[in-house]
Amino acid sequence: MNIIFNLLNTLLHYLFNLTGDLGIAIVLLTVTVRIVLLPVSIKQKTSIVQQHILSKKISGIKEKYKNNKKKLESEMQKYYRQSTKSMLGCFVSLLQLPIISSLYFVIIKVPVNVGTIIIPWIASIKTPDKYFIIPLIYALISLSPNLLSYIKYLKTVEWVKMTKSNLIFIIIFSIFITIKAPVAIGLYFITTSLFSLFEEIGYRLYMKDKPLN
């Protein structure tokens, strides 16, 4: 963990010296980390889609062979093996946690107390945004990936529609974790959410004509 922290801390200082703006350096560092983790993230998305498809197939098998216990058990064994393999892909995402958490702490412990051209209305990225613009932007961006499935062209598999309660929860949670947080952390969250949004759009476009079996 210390190795990852030191590496990211060194990279942040390098980007700060290169750009002369700590806000831009944080954005570039966050994007760099997310690009490095992109293969893991794609693997996770594919595994989730496969789990969804397998779940539907298993439900169909149970209905089809509900009166033939022997055949049902035989077919279920095949699908459970596939299900186990796709679940392993979801666990791969746990590899991201040490890197993402280290990045978070690197940004929290930034020693420089300066502003950034990205957010001209604040004097220091180590203070919260008193105008609450950053929390509101983060809340809106956090909602975006959940709305992609409402766009017919980007719909890949059947999805559970987002309820009003889920919508409200995302908004409240997003504002809650950023309203008192330093602007530097808000930049990190916004950059991460934007990257996730474009990653999701790219993934859906790529997989659109590549159905998973």
The pLDDT tens digits of the residues spanning 40-53 come to 888 878 877 777 77
pLDDT band at 57 (very low <50, low <70, confident <90, very high): confident
Would you state the pLDDT for residue 27? Answer: 96
Read off the pLDDT of each residue in 91-97 and give the average, rounded to a whole number. 62
Q: Which residue has the higher pLDDT, 154 or 92?
A: 154
Predicted TM-score of the model (pTM): 0.83
Closest by Cα among 34, 19, 18 to 104 = 34
- Residue 62: is its pLDDT beyond 90? no
3-state SS string over the chain? CHHHHHHHHHHHHHHHHHHCCHHHHHHHHHHHHHHHCHHHHHHHHHHHHHHHHHHHHHHHHHHHCCCCHHHHHHHHHHHHHHHHHHHHHHHHHHHHHHHHHHHHHHHHCCCCCCCECCECCCCCCCCCCCCCHHHHHHHHHHHHHHHHHHCHHHCCCCCCCCCHHHHHHHHHHHHHHHHCCCHHHHHHHHHHHHHHHHHHHHHHHHHCCCCCC
Closest by Cα among 25, 195, 201, 18 to 106 = 25
Q: Which residue has the higher pLDDT, 3 or 97?
A: 3
